[in-house]
Structures are given as C-alpha cells and as structure tokens.
Amino acid sequence: MDRAEQLVVLSGAAADQWGLVTAAQAKELGLNAVQLLRLAEAGLLENVSRGVYLLPASGIPRHVEIKAAWLRLQPKAFVWDRPAGHPDSGVISHASACQLHELGDIPAPDVEITVPRRRTTTEPFVRLRTAMLDPAEITIVEGLPVTTATRTITDLLQAKADGGHIGGVIAEAARRDLIIPDDLAARVEVYARKYGLKTTATGRDLIDHLVEQAGESLRRREVARASREGFDAAVHLIAEHPSLAALAHSRPERQRTWREAQDAVAALLGTYPHVTASAGLDRTLQAAIAKLNVPNPGLQAAIAKLNMPNPGLQAAIRNATALPQVTSKAALDSGASSTAPRQQAPASALPRSHDSDPDERSVETETND
C-alpha cells in the first residue's frame, strides 16, 4: 500500500474511535511498525500514547488520555468489538468518571479504570482498580463505558477521597438528576464513620455533611426555598384577586380538580412566568386552599376585608418587588387608578362553581491495587 492507501485504511477504523488507532489495530489492518513510523515522521499520524496514534485531520478528541488508556487495555480489539462490561475490557471509574460526567472539580491526575480481575500496567499515569460491576452500574459517555454517577460516588467514598470534592460531585449530580438521593443514601451509609460522623449517622446525614462541606446545597433545599417563595406569591395572588378564594368554597361533591384550578390560576396570571413556573406554587396554593377549606372565622373576616376596595393595599401590591409587573388585562384594569373601583377577574378565567365533573386528584467490594 502507498501512503495514501495506508491513511485511508487507518481513517476508516479511526473514524469510530475518536480519531485514534492502536499499533496492534494497524497491524490487523495490514500496516507494520515501520509504516506507522514513517507516517508519524511525515506528520500524518501523531503518537499520543505508547502504541496509540491520532490522525491529526480528525482533531484532538476530548479526554484523549482517558480514551487512549482504555484502548490500550485491549490493543487489538476495535471499539465496536468491545461491549460494555466485557471481561477483558475496563470501565472508566472514580475521578476519571467524574471528568467524563463533568461532575464537580475533583482532581484526576491518573486515568482510573475498573477491571473485573487483577491486571497490571506499565503506564505511569494509569491506575487499574479491581472490582466486579453490575451492568446497571455502567453507562456510556462519549462512546466509553463509564460507571454511573451513583457507583462513581460510592467508589470515591470507598477510596476515601476528599469529602469536599465528593460533596461537589453529589450536589451537581443531584441538580442534573443523575442520582436518586434516597438510593444513594442507602448505598453510602456504611461510609459515614470514615468521614467523622457518629455511629448512628445515616446515609442522608453523610450526604448532607459532604454537600455542606463543599458549600453546596441539594435540590430538596432549593425546592423548600422555592416553596416558601411560592407561598408568599400565593398570598399576594389571593390578596390581589379575592375571587380565587371561591376555589375553596365549592361544595365537596362539586369540587374542582387541582388541574382545573391550576389552569384557572395560569389563565388569570397571564404574564407571571416566574410565579407559575415556581417549584413551590403547586404545593403552596394547595396548602393555602386547604387552609381556606377549614372553618376559620378570623380568616373569613380577613378575606371579606380583602374583597373591600382598599386603594392603599392595591398600591402596595403594585409596588411589591416580589412579583414582576402584571400585564394581563384584568390586572391592568384593576391597577389603572388607585381611585377606580376594583375590577373582577373575567368569569371565564376561573372554574365554574357548578361544574359537574367528578373530582380527580390528579456495593461492590473493591480490592487494593
């Protein structure tokens, strides 16, 4: 083969391997070491790792060190012949898995790969860890087999990695829905004492401790904060639109479904996007309406007062910074003049009180290297 033919053959294989090809693979394709050397000297190949070459025309792939190290575990086998979980193939794990998942900022000076049986490597920056992995603990990222976020965090805890770095990984994984906190808590409880917690500490205690150490917060705290903000928004909403209180006064056999109530609120709000999208709006309006359903003379009196024209309250609500400027027609009409009579929301924007629809509620043990 001339040089052009050699490049065509190598390119065909490298196209599905991030632009990389091993010397052993090239031999399988009919090229010898001398031909590879001459191609490298001509600048048509670049030696990125011992026995691994890159076709520069393909561009340098992300995480090239990790990909080259993984290819060298089975230098003769092409990527398409190496299914995830193969006994002779490894799975990217620990800090290297965090890099591929883009979780946290944990240092990764070595390429860490978990293999099912003990193996050795002469590569100074490759660390092989021995452990059996369940297929459910393996996912594919950029064409590479990688431990899932839950397994990655468990591996880092078992390896006694820095708690602050792990906390950052947990917080980011939770934000991206890569983990289920309760499932993770059950898996990591055994490591609580390693990180200075009491013997009675739970997995949830450990997760909270690590996340706080990283200066992060889990989504459940963000949801709680959003719920509080949503409750405040609901109070302002009911104050500005007293007709919403009618949702609480339907006879039990003719109560609206929560979806109908939500649709009515959305229609009434018009351009209140940050309120209608609030994670706490559903929960807080439910709570507010539930409270209104309970006989409470004081609360009923307060609602009655809200129904009375109150220019001062209207002005205060219009100036409140908690809600964006209201641009819906009904709200503009009611706020056009402090002396104008209160405009009621259109009847079509709210569920009818006599609707006849029925109610609808809607670890594996790792050995030392």
Residue-level pLDDT at 119:
85
Residue-level pLDDT at 193:
93
Q: Sheet with 46-49: list strands edge to edge.
A: 20-22, 52-54, 46-49
At residue 120, φ and ψ (nearest 5 deg) are -120, 160
Residue-level pLDDT at 358:
42
Q: Which of 252, 253, 254 is nearest to 354 (CA)?
A: 254
Residue-level pLDDT at 313:
60
Q: Which of 108, 98, 105 is nearest to 168 (CA)?
A: 105
- Tokens 């963000």 correspond to 222
- Spatial separation of the C-alpha atoms in residues 254 and 261, rounded to whole Å: 13
- Spatial separation of the C-alpha atoms in residues 30 and 6, rounded to whole Å: 9
DSSP lists the bridge partners of residue 276 as none
Cβ density class 168-206: b for 16+ within 10 Å, e for less? bbbbbbbeeebbebeebbebbbebbeebebeeebebbbb
Q: How many residues does the chain have?
A: 369
Q: Which mean pLDDT values do the consecutive 10-residue runs of the chain (369 residues) have? A: 88 93 94 92 91 90 94 92 80 96 93 90 89 93 95 96 94 93 93 92 94 76 56 67 56 49 57 44 58 60 64 66 50 48 45 43 40
Query: 3-62: what CATH class?
Result: mainly alpha
Residue-level pLDDT at 326:
47
